[in-house]
C-alpha cells in the first residue's frame, strides 16, 4: 500500500543532510520518539553519493493490537538510505528501505530533500508491505495517517537541532 508525506524545513538542504547524518542528532531524534539509536554507519562521502544505515529500537505502544503479536513489546528496525550526489540545485534524493527485525514488514520508498525558498522541503513516497496476507494493508492503513505527523515531528527535530548547533 502506498505511503506519502511532505513537510517544510527552515534550513537549506545541505544542513538538513548534515543533521540526518549526525549520530548525536539521530540519538536525540530516536529518544524524542521514545526509542533509542542502536547504530549508525555512513558509507561514502556525504558531499557525493553515500549510504546512511541507521538501526533503531522503539516501543510498540502505538502499534495496533493486531500487529503486536508480530513485533512484541518493542521492535528493532533498520533504515538504509542510499543518497544520490546533490543535483545542480542542491536537491538530494535517497532510495529508502526499512526492515523490521523479526517481522515480515518492510517499507521501500524515496525521500527527496529539495530547496524551498530559504529552507527546504522533505517529501517521502513509498510502499509498505508484509508477507502475511492482509496485514500489510492493515498496517498501511494505520501508518499512512501517521506519515505526515512523523515527517512534521522530524522536521521540528531537525530545525531545533540545527538552530542549536550553528556552523
Q: How many domains does the chain have?
A: 1
Residue 149's pLDDT is: 66
CATH number reported for the structural domain that contains residue 13 in this entry: 3.30.530.20
Check if the beta carbon of residue 92 is closer than 8 Å to that of residue 112: yes
Q: Which residue segment(s) compose the domain that 29 sits in?
A: 2-164
Q: Where are the beta strands (DSSP E) in 48-91?
A: 50-59, 74-83
Selection from 69-73, 80-84, 104-108, 142-146 with the highest mean pLDDT: 80-84
pLDDT in tens, 41-99: 999 999 999 999 999 987 766 666 665 565 566 678 899 999 999 999 999 999 999 88
Q: Cβ neighbours of residue 65 under 8 Å, at least 6 residues apart?
A: none
Q: Any idea which of 15-19, 94-98, 106-110, 134-138 has the lowest mean pLDDT?
A: 134-138
| pTM of the predicted model as reported, rounded to 2 decimal places | 0.85
Residue 129's pLDDT is: 77
Amino acid at each position: 500500500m502506498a505511503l506519502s508525506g511532505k513537510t517544510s524545513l527552515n534550513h537549506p538542504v545541505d544542513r538538513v543532510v548534515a543533521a540526518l547524518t549526525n549520530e548525536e542528532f539521530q540519538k536525540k531524534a530516536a529518544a524524542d520518539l521514545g526509542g533509542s539509536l542502536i547504530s549508525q554507519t555512513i558509507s561514502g562521502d556525504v558531499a557525493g553519493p553515500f549510504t546512511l544505515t541507521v538501526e533503531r529500537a522503539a516501543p510498540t505502544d502505538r502499534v495496533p493490537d493486531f500487529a503486536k503479536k508480530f513485533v512484541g513489546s518493542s521492535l528493532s528496525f533498520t533504515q538504509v538510505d542510499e543518497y544520490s550526489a546533490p543535483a545542480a540545485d542542491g536537491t538530494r534524493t535517497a532510495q529508502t528501505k526499512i526492515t523490521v527485525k523479526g517481522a515480515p514488514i518492510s517499507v521501500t520508498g524515496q525521500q527527496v530533500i529539495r530547496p524551498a525558498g530559504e529552507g527546504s522541503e522533505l517529501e517521502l513516497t513509498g510502499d509498505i508491505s508484509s508477507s502475511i496476507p492482509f496485514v500489510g494493508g492493515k498496517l498501511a492503513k494505520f501508518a499512512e495517517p501517521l506519515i505526515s505527523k512523523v515527517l512534521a515531528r522530524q522536521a521540528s527535530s531537525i530545525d531545533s537541532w540545527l538552530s542549536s548547533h550553528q556552523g
